[in-house]
């Protein structure tokens, strides 16, 4: 057979086999793959050039891999076929849709032009089918085959890396070399294409802070915008079970001043800070997010333990820029989780640095409320200056004395009562298939003393127990290849209603995370500080 005829037949065969694979007709797909394999083996025996022989050998391996995956899929499908024909059929249909979507997406993503060099591999795009077998050693890779599609550089010119990569001194070092002042305003390079390029992709706040599009804290600003700021956290009060008293207090303390800034002037000025305290996992963060969503404020969420470890010695700068940004994007909510950790001495003995952060926080909180005290501000100006500071803590007694005073309003967020727990079961089983005969009252009774996070964990665990039971019925074997290649098909097979015994087992497995003595401690704090 001629080379071109082999390639044509091969392409056709592989295409057909894959389509049959997607349609779930694994038996027919296998027969097509076999024909393709025969063609390749024959062609390999015909060519004499050793490098061509090797290439055909690679094609052979790849087809064999696809055959193996199809055989696995066939086996897996057969284990379910006897149990539930219709479910399998539905799963297959869904799988087809997903596979088609994935392929379309992949094709758009790759945006790669056909390269005639690939002719020698039967006209197939190498990266598309050989990704899985790419040699680990780059030297062993054929550059024609293994060179990845080119990625367009991000127009901000830096990787969207995580906080870990942030070097607080990097920008300053770079700047020192250029002889620019810290605010980056007098470079003498105003105007021109260079400046235009620098400004491209920079946020409004960045350009407000560094009008020429560059400065030593640029990276820090972009990081805060990326990691700390959320335009709208999209949490509704209805997503939060019960806590009616806290919701009313918070709406009055936080939402009304946003809606009627003019009314909340002088003696009625908004609280300097609102503290949510109580056992962990009771909805403090959810409440802060719901307030930010409903009040349409820009939401900034930070935790001192995170930023202290990432910005050693620079944390107070982070606090300063954070508040400056919050004022710029006002009305805003600055939410500080684990606020008790502010100003505390940490394990590394860097007490001086943590005191500096605390001092900066106190200054900023005073600054925010001081601005709102100005009587000559118009309503519009007032709105533009509203920055609500909210803190959350599980250890209110550890809070620094001066900081505690700044949090003028303190709201206790207790463990959920029976109404709250029932509601939490409802919220957390929303997307789950649950048996019709669940005795919810019994579960609510059994979970007395549990937090919202504990109940979320119980629901998660109960649904996983269901999955494990199904896996056990299929021999307990986890087929990672099938999961990787046909995720939604496998997902469908593993779904079954969560039963009462699954929930009972999960409750036994997950103890409540808060003890009675801890609850007493919170109540003592409430009695002592609620109005102080
Ligand atoms: P924390 O009080 O520690 O800030 P979170 O607000 O982060 O707790 O809640 C942790 C998780 O617990 C939430 O993601 C949610 O699943 C669940 N949860 C806690 N309280 C509630 C509640 N009142 N309503 C609904 N879910 C809740």
Sign of the dihedral through C-alpha 79, 85, 87, 91: positive
Ligand 1 atom with minimal separation from the 287 CA: 6
Ligand 1 atom with minimal separation from the 453 CA: 12
Q: What is the pLDDT of residue 350?
A: 58
Three-state DSSP class for 75? helix
**Burial label, 532 (beta-carbon count in 10 A; 0-12, 13-18, 19+):** exposed
How many residues are recorded in the chain?
Answer: 532
- pLDDT (tens digit per residue) in 99-120: 655 555 454 444 444 444 444 4
Mutate to test the pocket of ligand 1, among 247, 335, 424, 452 (most ligand atoms within 8 A of CB): 452
Q: Where are the beta strands (DSSP E) in 112-180?
A: none
**Cα(372) to centroid(ligand 1), Å:** 32
Q: Say how many Å lie between the first and final Cα of the chain, rounded.
A: 92
**Cα(298) to centroid(ligand 1), Å:** 21
Alpha helix (H) ranges present in 111-202? 126-130, 143-146, 170-178, 192-199
Q: What is the pLDDT of residue 368?
A: 77
**Cα(285) to centroid(ligand 1), Å:** 7
Query: Are residues 310 and 479 in contact, defined by beta-carbon separation less than 8 angstroms?
Result: no
Which one, of 3, 217, 22, 288, lies nearest residue 121 by Cα? 3
Own/partner contacts of 357-361, CB < 8 Å, gap of 24 or more, are 357/304, 357/308, 357/315, 357/316, 357/319, 358/400, 358/402, 358/403, 359/316, 360/316, 360/319, 360/320, 361/319, 361/336, 361/403
Domains belonging to the chain, first-starting first, are 3-78 (1.20.58.80), 227-412 (3.40.50.300), 418-513 (1.10.8.60)
Q: Whose CA is nearest to atom 6 of ligand 1?
A: 283
Residues of the chain with pLDDT under 50: 82, 105, 107-134, 144-190, 346-348
> Following DSSP, what letter does each residue of 378-398 receive, concatenated?
-HHHHHHT-EEEEEEES-GGG
Q: What is the pLDDT of residue 422?
A: 96
Three-state DSSP class for 235? coil
Show the ligand 1 pocket: residues with CB < 6 angstroms: 240-241, 243, 280-286, 392, 424, 427, 452-453, 456
Q: What is the pLDDT of residue 439?
A: 95
**Cα(243) to centroid(ligand 1), Å:** 11
448 CB-side CA count, 13 A: 5
**Cα(89) to centroid(ligand 1), Å:** 38
| Predicted TM-score of the model (pTM) | 0.63
Q: What is the pLDDT of residue 179?
A: 40
Query: Are residues 201 and 155 in contact, defined by beta-carbon separation less than 8 angstroms?
Result: yes
Mutate to test the pocket of ligand 1, among 282, 288, 411, 419 (most ligand atoms within 8 A of CB): 282
> Following DSSP, what letter does each residue of 191-241 receive, concatenated?
SHHHHHHHHTT--HHHHHHSTTS--TTHHHHHHIIIIIEES-----GGGS-
Q: What is the pLDDT of residue 255?
A: 84
**Cα(332) to centroid(ligand 1), Å:** 22
DSSP annotation of 413 reads -
Q: 95-128: string of b/e by CB count within 10 Å (b at 16+)?
A: bbebbeeeeeeeeeeeeeeeeeeeebbbebbbbe
């Amino acid at each position: 057979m001629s080379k071109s005829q082999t390639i044509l037949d091969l392409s056709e065969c592989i295409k057909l086999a894959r389509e049959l694979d997607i349609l779930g007709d694994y038996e027919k797909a296998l027969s097509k793959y076999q024909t393709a394999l025969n063609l390749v083996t024959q062609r390999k025996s015909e060519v004499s050039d050793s490098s061509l022989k090797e290439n055909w050998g690679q094609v052979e391996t790849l087809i064999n891999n696809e055959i193996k995956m199809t055989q696995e899929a066939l086996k897996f499908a057969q284990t379910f076929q006897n149990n539930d024909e219709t479910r399998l059929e539905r799963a297959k249909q869904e799988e087809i849709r997903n596979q088609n979507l994935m392929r379309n997406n992949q094709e758009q993503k790759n945006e790669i032009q056909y390269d005639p060099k690939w002719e020698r591999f039967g006209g197939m795009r190498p990266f598309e089918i050989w990704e899985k077998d790419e040699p680990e050693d780059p030297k062993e890779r054929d550059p024609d085959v293994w060179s990845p599609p080119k990625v367009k550089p991000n127009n901000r010119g830096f990787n969207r890396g995580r906080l870990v990569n942030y070097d607080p001194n990097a920008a300053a070092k770079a700047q020192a070399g250029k002889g620019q002042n810290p605010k980056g305003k007098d470079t003498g390079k105003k105007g021109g294409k260079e400046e235009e390029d620098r400004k491209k992709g920079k946020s409004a706040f960045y350009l407000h802070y560094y009008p020429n599009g560059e400065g030593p804290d640029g990276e820090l600003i972009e990081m805060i915008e990326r990691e700390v700021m959320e335009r709208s956290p999209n949490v509704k009060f209805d997503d939060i079970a019960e806590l009616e008293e806290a919701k009313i207090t918070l709406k009055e303390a936080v939402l009304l001043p946003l809606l009627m800034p003019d009314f909340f002037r002088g003696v009625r000025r908004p609280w300097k800070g609102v503290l949510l305290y109580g056992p962990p996992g009771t909805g403090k963060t959810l409440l802060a997010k719901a307030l930010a969503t409903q009040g349409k404020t820009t939401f900034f969420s930070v935790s001192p333990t995170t930023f202290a470890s990432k910005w050693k010695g620079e944390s107070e700068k982070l606090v300063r820029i954070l508040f400056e940004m919050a004022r710029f994007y006002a009305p805003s909510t600055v939410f500080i989780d684990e606020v008790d950790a502010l100003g505390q001495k940490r394990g590394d003995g860097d007490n001086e640095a943590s005191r500096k952060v605390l001092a900066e926080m106190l200054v900023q909180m005073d600054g925010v409320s001081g601005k709102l005290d100005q009587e000559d501000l118009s309503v519009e100006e007032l709105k533009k200056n509203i920055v609500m500071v909210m803190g959350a803590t599980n250890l209110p007694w550890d809070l620094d004395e001066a900081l505690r005073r700044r949090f003028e309003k303190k709201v206790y967020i207790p463990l959920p009562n029976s109404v709250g727990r029932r509601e939490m079961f409802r919220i957390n089983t929303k997307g789950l298939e649950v048996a019709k005969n669940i005795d919810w009252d019994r579960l609510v009774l059994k979970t007395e003393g549990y937090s919202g996070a504990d109940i979320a964990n119980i629901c998660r665990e109960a649904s996983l127990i269901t999955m494990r039971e199904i896996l056990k019925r299929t021999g307990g074997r986890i087929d990672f290849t099938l999961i990787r290649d046909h995720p939604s098909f496998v997902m469908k097979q593993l779904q079954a209603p969560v039963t009462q015994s699954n929930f009972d087992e999960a409750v036994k497995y997950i103890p409540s995370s808060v003890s009675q003595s801890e609850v007493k401690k919170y109540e003592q704090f409430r009695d002592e500080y609620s109005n102080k």
